[in-house]
Structure 1
Amino acid sequence: MARPRKYNVNIPGLSCYTDARTKKVYWRYKHPFTGKFHGLGDNEEEAKAIAIEANSRLAEQKMKQMFTIKERISTKIGMSITVTSWLDKYLMIQKERLKAAEIKLNTFKQKTAPIETFRRECGSMELQSVGAKDIAAIIEQYKDKGQRRMAQVVRMVLVDVYKEAQHAGEVSPGYNPAMATRKPVNKVQRERFDLEEWQVIFKAAESAQKYVQNSMLLAVATGQRLGDISRMKFSDIWDDHLHVEQEKTGMKLAIPLSLRCDALDISLRDIINRCRDMIVSPYILHIHHTTGIAKRGGKVSAASITSSFSQVRDRSGLKWTEGTPPTFHEQRSLSERLYRAQGIDTQKLLGHKNQQMTDRYNDDRGKDWVVLAI
C-alpha cells in the first residue's frame, strides 16, 4: 500500500495509498493526538477539504486549551486575566442577570457597543494593567465625534465592568480605572415644546395616519415613554384604569380613565374611545393602512411613531433656532408641566423614584419668561 508517486500531499495528517486489489487510490487522515487513521474515501478534493477543516478545528481547540492553561497559571502566580477573557465572562454574568430579571433587556443591549470598543482597544492587555489614561482615551474618541451621550454610556459601562471584576476577585478591591476618569458633560441641546407649538404639529398631523394624532394625545395625556405607549393594549384597561408597566423602570401604574388634561380639554377616556375604531386590533395604537412591512391592525412600533412624528413636525412650518427640534419624547416634559399646573402628582404619573428627576422634566430650558410678582 505505497503512496502513489504522482500525489504530492502537503496537508498535515493527510495521506493516500493504492489498494493492491482494486488499484484505486484511497485517502486517509491521521489524528495528530490519538495517532489513529480515519478513512476518507477515494475523492481527492473532498478528502483535502475534510483534512483542512479538521486541522483548523484542532488548532482552534488547542488554542483554547492554551488560553485556559495560561489563565490558570496567571491566577496562581498573581497575574491578571486579560481584558478579552474577562469581557467574555462579564457578558455571561450580564446574561444571567437578564435572565433573573435583575436588569432590563435595553440595559443589556446598551452594554454591547462599549464592551466591543473596550475589547478592540485594550483586549490583549491584562485587566489589572489598564489605567485611567487608557479608559480616558476611549471616552475621548466619542467626545471628539460629538457623541457626548455615548461617551457617558461608555464610561458608565466600563465602571460596571470593573465593579464586576472586583466582585469576582479578578482585580484588587477598589481598583476601577474607569471610575477615576472625568464624567463627560452632555448638555441637552434639544428644545422643549410649548402648548401652542404642540397644537400646530397636532394640526399638521391631520393628513397623516390616524395613529400619529392618537399617539400625540396619549403622550401628553399619560406622560408615558415612547416604548410604553407603543405597547399599550385595550386589554390593559380594567377597573376604569389604564394599566402601564413601565419597560424602563418596571414601575406599575394604574392611570384613571377620568384623568383630564385641562389644557387640551380632553380626558384619557375620550382618547381611548377615539382609538376604538372599525379596525380589529389588540393594540390601542394600530396600523390603519397595510403597507409592505406593516399589516392593518398591527402594532405601531416605537420607531414608526417617532419617525412619523418627526415628519409631521418638519412639515408643520415651525422653526427652532436655539437648538435641535424637539422629539416625540419631549411631549413627556410638556405633559409634566401641564399637569403640575393642574396640581396633579406628576412624580407618580411619570413613574419617577424621586422628585429631582421629575423636576428635570419641569425645566422648560428657557422657553418661557419668568414673571416677577409685585
Structure 2
Amino acid sequence: MAPRPRNPGSKDLPPNLYRKTDRRNGATYYTYRDPVSGRMFGLGKDKEAAVMEAVAANHAEVLRPTLRARIAEPVVEADRKFADWLIEYDAIYPEKGLSVHTMRTTRSRLRAIKEAFGNKYIRSIRTMDIASFLATFTKADKAPMSKAMRSLLRDVFTEAIAAGWCDLNPVDATRPARSKVKRSRLSLELWKAMHAATDRPWLKRAMELALLTGQRRDDIGSMLFKDDHDGFLHVVQSKTGARLRLSTALRLEAIGLDLAGVIKLCRDRVVSKHLVHHSRSAGGAKAGSSIKLNTLTLIFAEARDQAAANLGIDLGPHPPSFHEMRSLAARLHAAEGRDPQKLLGHRNAAMTEMYKDGRGSEWIDVA
C-alpha cells in the first residue's frame, strides 16, 4: 500500500515526521507517527531535534530505543479485588475521628458493601453497578439508607484513588436518593399529656431531661450523677463526641422546670449512679440499674399512644418517637431566646434549622 502523499508543508521533513502550526500562538510543533501502530508522538518545537529523532527512529538501530521506549505500550497494572481494598480501607476510616456509634454503623454498612462488590475487580465496578445497588434500598422505601450507603461508597473509592488502586470514582455520577421525612413532630400539648398520664417516675425524668437538655436517647440513658458538678451537667455525646457543659440553672419556662431541680428529682430512695433508673426491681431489672434504651422507646410509645387517644389526636402512620423530643427542645429553647445549636451540639446551623422545623405540627399565630 502506497503511503499517503506528503503535505506540501512537510516536504522538507523525513518520513513519518509532521509539522503543525498552532493558530492561537503561531508556534510550530512536530509530531512523529509510528508506521507500525499509527500512534502519534509529540516531539516539541525544536525542528532540528525533531528531525534527528525521527531519522533515528526510522533508520538508526543505535538510537532507535530512545523513541521506541515512548512508542511501547504502557504496562497496565493488574486489577485487584474490591474485597482486598476493603481490608486496606478498614485501617483508614478509623483515623477519621468517628464516634464509637458511627464506627459501629460504618462496620455494618461495609459488610453489606463487601457482600455486594467484594468479588468484583475494583477497576471493573461501574456507575451502573453502584446505581443498581443503591436502588435496592430506595425501592424498599429506605431512601436515608441509600444516601448513607452512597456517601460511604464515595469515600471508599476516593481513598482507593488516593492509594492508586483505581483511577475513577463510579459513585460521583450517581444521584443521591430523594427522601421525604415521614415522622410527625411531637407537640408540647401531647408532651404535657404524656408527662401527666404516665405512672413511671423514670419516664417522667427522662422526658424532662430530654426537653431541658435536648440530648439524644442514648445520652439521656447514659447520664450519671457524677457528671453533675461545678454547676454544670457534663455530657459527651455518644454519636458525635461533642463535649457539652449544660448549666444546671438552665430553665425552660414552657414546662416550668430547671435542670438542677430535675436532677434533684432523679435522686429517690434508691441508690443509683444513673439519673434515669429503675426505682424498684422488676423482672430482670434491679432497682437502681439504668433503663435499657429499647425500654425507653417502648414505654415512651405506649404513653404517647395513650395520651393521643385521650386527646383525640390522630398521629397517623408515623407517630413521633423519643427522638422527637430533641426537635421539640430546639423549638422551645429557641422561642425563649436560647441558641439551640449549642444546646444540641450541632456543628452547623443547617442541621439545627431542620430540628426547629415543626413540619406543620404547631399553630401559627397571626396578630
Structure 1: gaps (5+ residues): 1-75
Distance 1:321 1:227 in 2: 24
Q: Is the 8 A contact 1:149 1:186 kept in 2?
A: yes
Question: Could you tell me which residue of structure 2 aligns to residue 83 of structure 1?
Answer: 82
Code of the residue aligned with 1:227 in structure 2: it is: D
Corresponding position: 1:92 with 2:91: yes
**Equivalents in 1 of 2:173, 2:100: separation in Å?**
28
Distance of aligned partners of 1:178 and 1:293 in 2 relative to their CA distance in 1, 3 Å threshold: farther
Structure-2 separation of matches of 1:80 and 1:97: 26
The 5 Å alignment of 1:252-291 reads 252-291=243-282
**What do residues 107-128 of structure 1 show as CA deviations (whole Å, max 9, x unaligned)?**
1222234322322222221111
Structure 2 residue 306 is matched with structure 1 residue 315: yes
Helix, strand or coil: the match of 2:359? coil
Matching residue within 326, 340, 346 for 1:346: 340
RMSD: 1.8
* Residue 195, structure 1, aligned to residue 193, structure 2: no
Contact 2:278 2:288 in 1 (8 A): yes
Deviation at 1:142, TM superposition (A): 1.0
Q: For residues 190 and 232 of structure 1, what CA distance do their matches in structure 2 show?
A: 26
Partner SS state of residue 119, structure 2: coil
Letter of the 2:215 counterpart: Q
1:230 alignment partner AA: G
Conserved 8 A contact 2:223-2:235:
yes
Q: Matches of 1:200 and 1:371 in 2, distance apart?
A: 22
Q: Indicate the percent of aligned positions where both proteins have the same amino acid.
A: 34
Map 1:61-140 to 2 at 5 A. 77-94=76-93, 96-97=94-95, 102-140=97-135
TM-score by length of 2: 0.75
Distance in 1 (alpha carbons) for counterparts of 2:329 and 2:80? 50
**C-alpha distance in structure 2 between counterparts of 1:314 and 1:322, whole Å:** 11
Give yes or no for the alignment of 1:151 onto 2:154: no
2:218 corresponds to 1:219 = no
2:234 partner SS: strand
Specify the alignment match of 2:31 in structure 1: none
Partner residue in 2 for 1:242: 233
1:370 and 2:361 correspond: no
Q: Deviations over 1:242-269 (max 9, x none)?
A: 1111222222211111111101011111
Matching residue's letter, 1:79: A
Distance 2:315 2:334 in 1: 27
Match of 1:299 in 2: 290
Task: In structure 1, give the amino acid aligned to 2:360.
Answer: G
Distance 1:303 1:321, change over 3 A: closer
Evaluate the alpha carbon distance shift between residue 293 and residue 158 of structure 1 in structure 2; reply closer, same or farther with a 3 A threshold. Answer: farther
Note the 1:3-14 alignment, pairs <5 A. none
Residue 333 of structure 1 deviates from its aligned partner by 0.9
Q: Which amino acid aligns with 2:77?
A: G
Query: How far is 1:152 from its partner?
Result: 1.4
Cα distance change on mapping 1:179 and 1:302 into 2, 3 Å? farther
Once the two structures are superposed, residues 24-60 of structure 1 have per-residue CA deviations (whole angstroms, 9 ceiling, x without a partner) of: xxxxxxxxxxxxxxxxxxxxxxxxxxxxxxxxxxxxx
User: Structure 1 counterpart of 2:281, which letter?
Assistant: T
Aligned length: 290
Does the residue aligned with 1:365 lie in a helix, a strand or coil? coil
Q: 1:292: Cα distance to partner?
A: 4.1
8 Å CA contact 1:212–1:305 kept in 2: the answer is yes
Give the Cα separation in 2 of the matches to 1:79 and 1:311: 59
